[in-house]
A and B are shown apart, each in its own frame.
Chain A
Amino acid sequence: MIGLFCAFLLNSCQYDWIEPVEPALPDVVSFSAHLLPVFNRSCNSAGCHATGGVAPDLTPANAFNDLFARNQIDLATPENSKLYTKCAPGGSMNKYCLPGDWDIMLKWIQQGAQNN
C-alpha cells in the first residue's frame, strides 16, 4: 500500500497553470441577485463580516447600508472602492473570492451602486 502511495505521489507532481474562468457579466448588476450571494458564500458565513463581527457587516439585512456607512464604495472612482480592491487580485480578501467576483462588484459600483 505504501509503495503504491509512493508511486502515486511521485506521479503527482505537475506544472499546470490555471486560467481563471470568468463568468459573463450581466448587463445590469443587481445587488440582491449578484452581490449578496457572493457575500453569503465568501464573507459572512464564517462569522467574519457578520453582525457583531468584523466591519463591514455583509449580512443581507445590513450589507448595503454598512458598505456606504463605512466608506467601502467610491462612486467617483469605482476602481478605488475598498469593496473592489479588497476582493480583487492583490487584495487581502482575494483568497476568499472566486474569479469574477471583483468584476461584478466593480460593475455594480460603476452602475451607481443601487440597492436593486
Chain B
Amino acid sequence: MKKVILLVAFSITWVFFLTAQDSGTDQKPVNSNRSLLGYFILEDSRPIRNPYESGILIDNQTNVIPTAKTLEFVIQHRFGSLENGFSDFLGIYGAANTRLALNYSITDWAQVGFGTTKNYKLQDFSAKINILKQSRDKKSPVDVTYYGNWAIDARDKDFFGEDYQFSSRFSFFNELLITRQFTDWLTLSAGGSFSHFNAVDTLVDQHDHDKIALHFLGRVKFSPQSSIIINFDLPLQIDGLNSRSDLSSHYNFGIGYEVATATHAFQIFAGTGTYLVPQYNVMKNDKEFFKGTGNIFLGFNITRLWSF
C-alpha cells in the first residue's frame, strides 16, 4: 500500500514536471487558462487573479505560481518560543530557524525550486504545478495545485547510526491543494499530503516513516495590500500506515498579518511550526498552539519576485 502511494505520488510529480518542460517553449493561447489542464479543457477561460499574494502562506504552500520566467526569492524565519516572555524579547533573542529558497517558474503553471534550512541542515528540491485554475467564467470553480519536494538532511553522518546510507538522509512530501477564491476578500484552501522519511531514529524521533495530513489555509483581505492569514495542518493517525502505535500527532496552527505589493509579500505571524519544510512540520511538530506560550513562535516570511 505504501509503495503504491509513493509510486503514484512520484509519478504525478515527474510526469507533470516532464510535461512542464516539454511545453515550456510552446506558444501560449491568448486568454488561456494558465494551468496544466486549463490548456486542454478551459482554453477560452481566463483565470482569476491570484487568490493569494505569494507562493507561501505561513507554513504551507499556496496555489500561486508567478508568471513564466519569474524568479522568486523566499526568506522564512522562526524565532524562539514566547515561553520566556520579555527576558528574551518574545523569543527574538532565542534559538531561531531560517530557510532561504529560490523558486523559478518554468511556465505560468510549473515551478521548481531549491531551499536550504538551518535546522537539520536541510537541502530541499521542490516542484509545484497548477493543474487547474479557477476561471472567471466559473467553468472551473476551484484551483487544483500539486506541490512536492525532496529534502536531504545534511547533518554529520553520526546522526544516522551505524548502518549509514546516504539515502537515510532523504524525506519526501507530496500535496494536492484545492483553492477557491469566494470573494475578492476571502480565499480558502484545503489539501491532503503524504510525507515519507526514509530513516527514523528509534531513540530521538517521535514519529513513523509515513504520515498523511490535511491542510487548511485562508486569507481575509481587508485593504488593497493587507490581509489576515491562517494556516492549519492536521496530521492523521492511520493504523495501517504506522508500525508504531505509541506515537501521537499534533496539529500545527498559525495566524498572522500579510502586507503585499506586486513583487513583495511580507507575512508576520504566531504559530507552532518551526521546521520550515512541510514534511518536518507534519512529522516532528510536538507543539499545540493553545497549550501555553512555550508552544507559540513568532515568525515571518518574505518573498521577492524578479521577472526575466
Contacts and interface: CB of A to CB of B under 8 A. Distances in A.
A13 B202 contact: no
Contact of B168 (A6, A14, A48): A14
CB-CB nearest 7 A-B residue pairs: A18-B161, A16-B199, A18-B201, A14-B198, A6-B14, A20-B203, A48-B95
Contacts of B14: 2, 5-6, 9
A16 B170 CA distance: 11
Given A2-B17, A18-B161, A10 B7 contact: yes
Nearest to A100: B158
Interface string A15-36: 1111111000000000000000
A2 B201 contact: no
B237 to A, nearest CB: 18
B80 A20 contact: no
* A interface secondary structure, majority: loop
A60 interface: no
Contacts of A9: 10, 14, 150, 172
Interface of B: 2-3, 6-7, 10, 14, 17-18, 21, 80, 88, 93-95, 118-120, 150, 156, 158-163, 165, 167-168, 170, 172, 196, 198-204, 206, 209
B150 A15 contact: no
17 contacts: A12-B170, A13-B198, A14-B165, A14-B167, A14-B170, A14-B198, A15-B198, A17-B200, A17-B202, A20-B203, A46-B118, A48-B95, A55-B88, A94-B204, A95-B119, A95-B204, A99-B159
A90 B200 CA distance: 15
A98 B159 contact: yes
B21 A2 contact: yes
B21 A17 contact: no
Interface of A: 2, 5-6, 9-10, 12-21, 46, 48, 53-55, 89-90, 93-95, 98-99
Contacts of B21: 2
B73 to A, nearest CB: 23
Contacts of B160: 18
Given A2-B21, A6-B14, A20-B204, A12 B158 contact: no
Contact of A17 (B3, B165, B196, B199): B199
A16 B210 CA distance: 12
Nearest to B91: A54
A55 B80 CA distance: 12
Contacts of A90: 206
Given A6-B10, A6-B14, A18-B160, 6 more contacts: A10-B6, A15-B198, A16-B168, A54-B94, A94-B204, A98-B159
